[in-house]
Amino acid sequence: MTVLGRREPSHRCGRLILLALSSFAAVALSLPAAAIANDAGLRTTLSLWSNRIASDAQGISLSAARRHPRRMTRRARHFRLDALRAHTALAAIRPSSDRGRRAKRLALAAFSDYAIVGRQWTLSGLARLRGLRAAAVGHARIAARYAKRGSALLVSAKRLLG
Amino acid sequence: MSTRKLITTVAAFLLLAGAGVAAAFAGNSPSSPANTVTTSTTTCSDDQGQQGDNDEQEAADDVENAATKVTQEAGRTQADDQAGDDQGDDSQGDEPGDNCDD
């Protein structure tokens, strides 16, 4: 009985240590992945999505120049989707510095503007398909305005990241 | 005995919670979208291998050029190329980047 009485506190202590080790293990598991999400990750993601957006824009430019409104409309929808995907990807990143956080805000605003650009290009293409030239021009002009603002924001974000 | 079970359960729960948090971070990390984009740009981008420091500037220029082009063409009275446009729906590859479309 006395032996049991002595062993009880040591068992309890062992359990507490086990519990503490389990907690540390849980925290340690989450740390390596969290460390990835920093300014470098933001820079890489921004660069890759910019590349994709550029490729989409080249296609739209080509379709517009060749007077293929249906194809341009399809590409414009794709452009918008890519802008939204870029926004989602960037929103998930947690920058590690103040500059990174500012760059993220600018980049998010840039891709939001690009999503509007994609929408306006789509509407412009649809208007062209219906023979509504004035509406097509109107939507294209709105797109151009947002494209200019989005591009300025994107370049500013890049400058902040160095 | 019940205390031991409780502690084991709590420990297992913490481990699972840790794994969940790690998975969430991993899912949010840039590696996921980055990999997706890398795969796509390998097949779609016209300028493979030119990815560098100026991706953002190039994107900005390309978007603005496209905006100018779309505005110019929207205002032009010339008829659209219906034949070429219709052909584009059925065939692939007569314009660069067509295989990028959904």
- Residue B43: which pLDDT band, with cuts at 50, 70 and 90? very low
Helices and strands (H, E) in chain A, number of each type: 5, 0
Q: What is d(CA A82, CA A98) in angstroms, rounded to the nearest whole number?
A: 27
Range A70-76 average pLDDT:
95
Q: What ipTM goes with this model?
A: 0.76
Nearest CA in chain B to A134: B75
Q: Which tens digit of pLDDT belongs to each residue from A30-50?
A: 554 554 458 899 999 999 999
Nearest CA in chain A to B78: A67
A35 CA to centre of own chain:
18
Q: Which tens digit of pLDDT belongs to each residue from A90-107?
A: 999 999 999 999 999 999
pTM equals 0.66
User: Residue B9: its pLDDT value, please?
Assistant: 81
- Higher pLDDT among residues B76 and A104, named by residue: A104
Q: Which tens digit of pLDDT belongs to each residue from A137-146?
A: 999 999 999 9
- Higher pLDDT among residues A56 and B39, named by residue: A56
User: Residue B69: its pLDDT value, please?
Assistant: 95
- Nearest C-alpha of chain B: how many angstroms from A116? 12
Structure tokens at B76: 């032009």
Nearest CA in chain B to A132: B74
Contact by Cβ (8 Å): B52, A158? no
- Higher pLDDT among residues B36 and A122, named by residue: A122
Tell whether the model's pLDDT for residue A119 goes beyond 80.
yes
User: Residue B27: its pLDDT value, please?
Assistant: 44
Tell whether the model's pLDDT for residue B63 goes beyond 80.
yes
- Nearest C-alpha of chain B: how many angstroms from A79? 10
Nearest to B94 by CA among B81, B80, B84, B82: B84
CB contact under 8 A, B14 and A46: no
Contacts of A140 in chain B (CB under 8 A): 67, 70-71, 74-75
Cβ-Cβ contacts under 8 Å for A95 (sequence gap 6 or more) = A38, A39, A42, A101, A103, A104
| Domains of chain A by residue range | 1-36, 37-161
